[in-house]
């Protein structure tokens, strides 16, 4: 989770200065979260690169009206305090203005997908 939260902070900071792309450390969880962000339209896309012995991930940032598509990322769960939600609560937490990233038994999914699959889980991040 540390890699994921650092990468999301790196995305927000890069959008503030107007960068086109960032390079961060690759992980499987980050790969799943970036797939969700691409489908929801928060980033243009991403790809993996092999850099020596480790893998790096290049994220292509998206802007809407010269502002970053991701305005805010807030962490819902911490190692000391985990937040779990049932599928009925996941319908529309932000009235369509953002998404929740949830870790379920089906993998890491967005809130609407978890609602339609009727699975709950640990809420990781709220992205708007």
One domain, residues 35 and 64: yes
One domain, residues 29 and 87: no
pTM over 0.85: yes
From the list 71, 52, 75, 51, the residue with the least C-alpha distance to 63 is: 71
How confident is the prediction along the chain (128 residues), in pLDDT tens digits per residue? 788 989 999 999 999 999 999 999 999 999 999 999 999 999 999 999 998 888 999 999 999 998 999 988 888 888 888 889 887 787 665 666 788 899 999 899 998 899 899 999 999 998 98
d(CA 61, CA 44): 6
| Residue 112 CB coordination number (10 Å) | 15
Looking at residue 7, its pLDDT comes to 93
Looking at residue 95, its pLDDT comes to 66
One domain, residues 58 and 80: no
One domain, residues 9 and 52: yes
- How many domains would you assign to the chain? 2
One domain, residues 44 and 85: no
Looking at residue 94, its pLDDT comes to 60
Residue 81, domain CATH? 3.30.1490.10
d(CA 60, CA 46): 6
Q: Which domain holds residue 108?
A: 73-127
């Amino acid at each position: 989770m540390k890699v994921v939260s650092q990468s999301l902070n790196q995305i927000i900071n890069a959008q503030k200065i107007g960068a086109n792309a960032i390079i961060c450390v690759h992980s499987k969880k980050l790969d799943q979260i970036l797939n969700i962000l691409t489908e929801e339209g928060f980033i243009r896309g991403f790809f993996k690169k092999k850099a020596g012995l480790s893998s790096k991930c290049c994220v292509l940032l998206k802007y809407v009206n010269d502002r970053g598509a991701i305005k805010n990322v807030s962490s819902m769960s911490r190692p000391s305090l985990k937040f779990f939600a049932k599928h009925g609560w996941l319908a529309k937490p932000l009235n369509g203005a953002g998404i929740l990233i949830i870790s379920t038994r089906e993998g890491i999914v967005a809130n609407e997908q978890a609602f339609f699959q009727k699975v709950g889980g640990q809420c990781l991040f709220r992205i708007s």
